[in-house]
Amino acid sequence: MPSPASPSPLHADAGSPPVSAWPTILETRGWSDYALLDFGHGRKLERYGGIVVDRPEPQAMGRPRLSEGRWREADAVFTGNDEDDGPGRWRLNRDLPETWKMAFHDVRFLGRFMSFRHVGVFPEQAAHWQWMAERVARDAARPGAEPPRILNLFGYTGLASLVPAAAGAHVTHIDASKKAIGWARENQELSGLEHLPVRWICEDATKFVAREIKRGNTYDGILLDPPKYGRGPKGEVWDLYQSLPELLPMVEKLLSPNAGFLILTAYAIRSSFVALHELMAETLEIRGGRLESGELVLTTEDGARALSTSLFSRWSSK
Ligand SMILES: C[S@@+](CC[C@H](N)C(=O)[O-])C[C@H]1O[C@@H](n2cnc3c(N)ncnc32)[C@H](O)[C@@H]1O
C-alpha cells in the first residue's frame, strides 16, 4: 500500500480490490431508431430506423406474442443457419436500399444487411454508450481538464467511439477489418463529426496494446467488445478463451493513473458473467472502485419482456 507521503498515482482507494456489484442487468428499452418488437421460437423481430427485421436469436426460447401476420410483414428476413453467428442470407420483402440512415443522439450511422445476420449495430450496447457519454462529458467539463482519452478495442462500426468523441473525448479506435474501419469513418462523416479527434487504426488488438505499453501511452477509459473468434489483419488468431486472459492484464497497464473505467462485453460464449467478473477482479485487484457485472438485455417497446443478449463486466474508479 502506498504511504500518505508518496501518494499513489491511482485514485483514493487504490491498493484494494474493486467493490463487487453483481448481478447488474443493463436494460435498453430502445429509442426513436430502434425497437425490439417481439421475440420467440428462436427469432427476434426488430425495427431499425424504418426497416423491420426478422432474424435468428437463440436466446428467444419462449413463444412470440405478436401475430404471425405482424411477423410476415417484416421487410427483411435472415434465413439459413440458425446457429449463433452462422452463415445464411437475407430475403428482402420489398425494395430496400443497400444502406439506410439511423441516429443515436448526435451520432448518425448506416444500417447495412451483413452476412452473419448483423446490420452494423448492437443496440443493447446503448446502455454503455450512454454511461460513457455522461462520464466523458462530466470529466471534460472540469475546469482545466484535458479531454479524456478513450480506447475502443474491436471497435467495429464505431458507435462506441463516436458517442464518447461527441461528448468531448479523444478516441483511439482499433479494428482488424479495413471494411469495418471504412464503415466507421462513413458513420463519422454522416454524423458531421469529422472535426472530432478520432484515430482509426486497422491493427490486431493485442499487438496494438503491446505497442502502446512499450510507448508508455495510457488511456482514461477503455472499452473492449471482443468476438468469440477473430483474426487480426495479418491473420493473428483471436480465440476469446485463450486470448482474453492474456490481453486483459495488458489492457490494465494502459489505464492512466486517473482512469475512470474499463468495460468488457462478451457475446455468445459458453460462460457466465461471474467468469468475466472474476477475470476483471483479478486484473484490477489493486484499483479499488467498483466492479459491476451482469447482462445486457433488450426490453420490448411495451416494456413487458426482456431478451438477454450479452454478458458484461464494467469497472469504474468511483
Ligand atoms: C463487432 S466486434 C464483436 C462484438 C460483437 N458483439 C460480436 O460478438 O460479434 C467484432 C469486431 O472485432 C474485430 N476483430 C476481430 N478480431 C480482431 C483482432 N484480432 N484485432 C482487432 N479487431 C478484431 C472484427 O473486425 C469486428 O469488427
Of the listed ranges 34-43, 133-142, 189-198, 261-270, the one predicted with least confidence: 261-270
**Domain match, 197 and 106 both:** no
Q: Is residue 13 part of a domain?
A: no
- Give residue 105's pLDDT: 95
**Domain match, 145 and 291 both:** yes
CATH number of 66's domain: 2.60.40.1180
Phi, psi of 290 (to 5 degrees): -140, 135
Calculate mean pLDDT across residues 25-31.
94
Interval 80-131: pLDDT, tens: 765 555 668 999 999 999 999 999 999 999 999 988 789 999 999 999 999 9
Res 72 pLDDT > 70? yes
Calculate mean pLDDT across residues 209-229.
97
Domain count for the chain: 2
Give the angle 136-109-50 at the CA atoms, nearest 5°: 125
C-alpha closest to that of 284 among 267, 259, 301, 307: 259
Domain span at residue 70? 34-117
What is the rounded end-to-end Cα distance, in angstroms, of the chain? 19
Q: How far is the CA of 157 from the centre of ligand 1 (A)?
A: 10
HEC string of the chain equals CCCCCCCCCCCCCCCCCCEEEEEEEEEECCECCEEEEEEECCEEEEEECCEEEEEECCCCCCCCCCCHHHHHCCCEEEEECCCCCCCEEEEECCCCCCEEEEEECCEEEEEECCHHHCCCCCHHHHHHHHHHHHHHHHHHCCCCCCCCEEEEECCCCCHHHHHHHHCCCEEEEEECCHHHHHHHHHHHHHCCCCCCCEEEEECCHHHHHHHHHHHCCCECEEEECCCCEEECCCCCEEEHHHHHHHHHHHHHHCECCCCCEEEEEECCCCCCHHHHHHHHHHHCCCCCCEEEEEEEEEEECCCCCEEEEEEEEEEECC
Mean pLDDT, the chain, whole residue set: 91
Q: How far is the CA of 269 from the centre of ligand 1 (A)?
A: 14
Q: Is residue 154 part of a domain?
A: yes
Q: How far is the CA of 299 from the centre of ligand 1 (A)?
A: 25
**Domain match, 253 and 169 both:** yes
Q: Atom 6 in ligand 1: which residue has the minimum CA distance? A: 267
Q: Atom 15 in ligand 1: which residue has the minimum CA distance? A: 230
Atom of ligand 1 nearest to the CA of 156: 27
Boundary of a domain, candidates 57, 91, 117: 117
**Domain match, 68 and 169 both:** no
Calculate mean pLDDT across residues 261-274.
85
Question: Ligand 1: which of 109, 177, 295 to mutate, most ligand atoms within 8 Å of CB?
Answer: 177
Boundary of a domain, candidates 69, 99, 117: 117
Q: How far is the CA of 81 from the centre of ligand 1 (A)?
A: 20
- Give residue 154's pLDDT: 98
Identify the bridge partners of residue 262 per DSSP, sorted by sequence position. 222, 315
Boundary of a domain, candidates 117, 132, 155: 117
Res 219 pLDDT > 70? yes
Q: Atom 7 in ligand 1: which residue has the minimum CA distance? A: 227
CB of 124 within 6 A of ligand 1: the answer is: no
**Domain match, 54 and 154 both:** no
CATH number of 231's domain: 3.40.50.150
Q: Is residue 10 part of a domain?
A: no
> Cis omega (within 30 of 0) on the bond before 7?
no
Q: Is residue 59 part of a domain?
A: yes
Q: Please tell me the distance from the alpha carbon of residue 177 to that of residue 157, in angstroms, as a whole number.
A: 10
User: How many other C-beta atoms can be found within 10 angstroms of the C-beta atom of residue 272?
Assistant: 14
CB of 156 within 6 A of ligand 1: the answer is: yes
Res 6 pLDDT > 90? no
**Domain match, 85 and 176 both:** no
| 155 grid coordinates | 471497435
Q: How far is the CA of 175 from the centre of ligand 1 (A)?
A: 7
Atom of ligand 1 nearest to the CA of 268: 8
**Domain match, 192 and 296 both:** yes
**Domain match, 150 and 88 both:** no
CB of 38 within 6 A of ligand 1: the answer is: no
Max Cα-Cα span within the chain: 71
Question: Ligand 1: which of 175, 185, 201, 269 to mutate, most ligand atoms within 8 Å of CB?
Answer: 175
